[in-house]
Chain A
């Protein structure tokens, strides 16, 4: 119950500041640009594709690359959105409002997380509208599209959870942003290390945010991938709760 109250304030705070609007506008513009390029490319190659057996459809050729690009842009944007969640409240002393209210640490963290997640889902919705608009002229593979949207949604959830945790670690929002960007980028590229016959290679691939996303984009719905993201989110949320609780102990 309190989770929703806190989430509501978080959303209100986001939309009262120009930051949320600015981020939405910029993302929308860049993703739309990429979308138009993809559509243009597809139209160019459509005649030659028509002759091929098992040729990629419009969903593969437009939606998948679009989501792929969007994920890279959001990797940079989500840390900026998540950096203020806890660190700013700590810095301005408003955290004590939450700490002295009859609200548990879990409710605070879940509320903060939910607020950011709703914002990110709005952004996801706006991005999804672009490939959906192709419905007007052609037939879409809804299964693949859904799998891609789910993948990007889970990815955003994971970004937000990691960003929230980094925000509980420091009073400086910028430090939180940079460290969560670093963490996410590391988890993004970690699989590059496991290219050889190294016996750690599967581990690196399993840890990588990118690999699990890739299979969802290809339309392969694997429970292991979904569970990976859910575990990732839960882990960082639990870390955040512990960290916030520890804040009362030390200072």
Chain B
């Protein structure tokens, strides 16, 4: 159920449209009342580092059972956002609600409901895994009597059963990352915030961590940041793309997949294809010669025209070897999104 296209608003750093802000807030209120599963609500968040605006006018929501992927190139403002959500960094302006508690007004109450794994896991190398997790549980106000149970559960979920008595400093990077995640979930928070959880891991570890996150997403709300597109595609239920501190895209995974659909094909043939015949096909925008045997054909629409091209190649007897629809890379999506964003006038975007 989605009553309105979740409060994203485009606008310059210094711009505020009062009426729309009021309306958005009002609709937020109705929405919050009708939905008790709302875990995080972020409104018009700004963050400046001196004159540099790292995050501008960011608004989004997270519901129970959702895995929200924050996608963006390095330096887009992902980590800054995560730090603000976890209370490590104070926003320059805006509001963050965890459940119904304002993170800035009542940080202690709000932080009870969050678990945070920073980019660099906050580990004490001279502690054993057990000692460290006990300490984290106590810090998050897990009662004394429940600490062993909480520790055991976190260890089981993160696959740390065998390493409980080992020093954290002696563990491999992958295990350290898991200890970091265990630390974030030990008090079973409603919201788990993970900043690039799979960075620096080998492919097997990445798969395990992704499985764990999927598991977490069933009971908690998860926000994770990454710059790896496939990661988002495998685990996230909703995607937000952030670019230069602004939210440029906010949709379900299906929406992203549509965006990624290509408008071009690469055609490789044994004999050199004749460009003029290809131009004659409907909806062909341009044909670019890559080398003697390979061509890139760009279309004007999103429709997949591979069939028509294949038929043409067979009819002309070019000896069809390869026909590949090109998927857009993350970079291209960024370019598309930001280019589109700049083209749309502010009023319309809002």
A residues touching B (Cβ–Cβ < 8 Å)?
A: 2, 5-6, 9, 12-13, 16-17, 92-104, 248-249, 251
Contacts and interface: CB of A to CB of B under 8 A. Distances in A.
Given A9-B135, A93-B120, A100 B108 contact: no
A102 B140 CA distance: 6
B139 A103 contact: yes
B174 interface: no
Interface of B: 49, 83, 86-90, 107-112, 114-116, 118-124, 126-127, 131, 135-136, 138-141, 183
B140 A251 contact: no
11 contacts: A13-B124, A13-B126, A93-B118, A93-B122, A100-B114, A100-B115, A102-B139, A102-B140, A103-B139, A104-B107, A249-B90
A101 B89 CA distance: 13
Nearest to A1: B141
Interface of A is mostly: helix
B136 A97 contact: yes
B86 A100 contact: yes
A104 B108 contact: yes
A94 B90 contact: no
B108 to A, nearest CB: 5
A207 to B, nearest CB: 35
A84 to B, nearest CB: 12
Nearest to B121: A93
Contacts of A249: 90
Contact of B49 (A5, A96, A251): A251
B124 A101 contact: no
Contact of B139 (A92, A101, A104): A101
Nearest to B119: A93
A102 B141 contact: yes
A103 to B, nearest CB: 6
A17 B125 CA distance: 11
A248 B139 contact: no
Contacts of A92: 120, 122
Contacts of B122: 92-97
Given A93-B120, A98-B139, A100-B116, A248 B111 contact: no
